[in-house]
A and B are shown apart, each in its own frame.
Chain A
Amino acid sequence: MNFDMKRRILLKGALASGTLGIALGAGLLTPKAAMAAWPKAAFETKDIDGSISTLMGVSGSEESDKIKIKAPDIAENGAVVPVTVSTDMAGVETIAILAEKNPLPLIASFDLGEGVLGTAGTRMKMGTSGDVIAVVKAGGKVYTARKNVKVTIGGCGG
């Protein structure tokens, strides 16, 4: 009995370190080229303002009614919430999408090249009801807009 208990603890430990090893391995194996461009610090923080300022390289933002967020008022399935952010501002450099209540709020950022219009669309996961935050960097300044989306079934975790 005693021996069996110990064996169990040992097994548990081995399993836990095993998953950790995989997680670490995944991080280490990532090619440098991809890592250099991917703004890890902005993606791996819970702090929304911090994430935005890290990503955009500008601290502070203003709310703007020139940003339109197209997303459903009620999302039946939180695993797939279509979002389109559009703005007619001039000189849009970056568009980013965040979900306020997600464990890691920053979902996506889009760096726009020359001639690209201020529109970006994708589908995102939302853990629970909350605001979708759209961030637009134009002419060196950062603007934000929000839209509340109610989620019936969460899309984070299982």
Chain B
Amino acid sequence: MEKKPIKVKAKFKNDVVTVKALMGHPMETGNRKDKKTGKKIPARFIQEVVCKSGGKTLMTANWSGGVSKDPYLMFKYKGGKKGDMLELSWVDNTGKSAKTEVKVA
């Protein structure tokens, strides 16, 4: 599990739930060099983000190292309601993962 948590906000308004998430992750592309040693910093980035609610997968995001550090994600869906539980998890290319749950407000 990562030290930096995933922050998720899910808001219900006009029949639509808007999900905004911030994940703590270095998102190294593998192309960057350490300025002191000149060695390449190994790639480490989130490859897959899955968001589920009520047993259904709402969204699966596949990412490359091209997504910014401490990634942000936003999407909207219909059919949700206040009080629903929303689960968001990610897996990076080194196999590390994190997961969080949040209530739709």
Contact = CB atoms under 8 A, between A and B. Distances in A.
A108 B33 contact: no
A138 interface: no
Contacts of B48: 34, 37-38
Nearest to B43: A26
Nearest to A23: B42
B24 interface: no
A43 B43 CA distance: 14
Contacts of B39: 15, 19
Given A107-B63, A111-B59, A116 B31 contact: no
Given A108-B61, A108-B64, A103 B31 contact: yes
Interface residues of B, number: 42
A86 B35 CA distance: 38
Dominant SS among interface residues on chain B: strand
Dominant SS among interface residues on chain A: mixed
Given A19-B39, A34-B47, A81-B68, A115 B58 contact: yes
A31 to B, nearest CB: 5
B94 A119 contact: no
Contacts of A111: 59-62
B74 A115 contact: no
B68 A115 contact: no
A37 B66 contact: no
Interface in B7-28: 16
A122 B95 contact: no
Contacts of A29: 94-95
Contacts of A121: 72-75
Nearest to B74: A121
Interface string B36-59: 000110111001100000001111
Contacts of A112: 58-59, 75
A155 B72 CA distance: 16
Contacts of B62: 37-39, 43, 108-111
Given A19-B40, A117-B16, A125-B68, A110 B74 contact: no
Given A116-B75, A122-B68, A122-B73, 9 more contacts: A26-B44, A26-B94, A113-B58, A116-B58, A116-B76, A121-B75, A122-B74, A124-B66, A156-B66
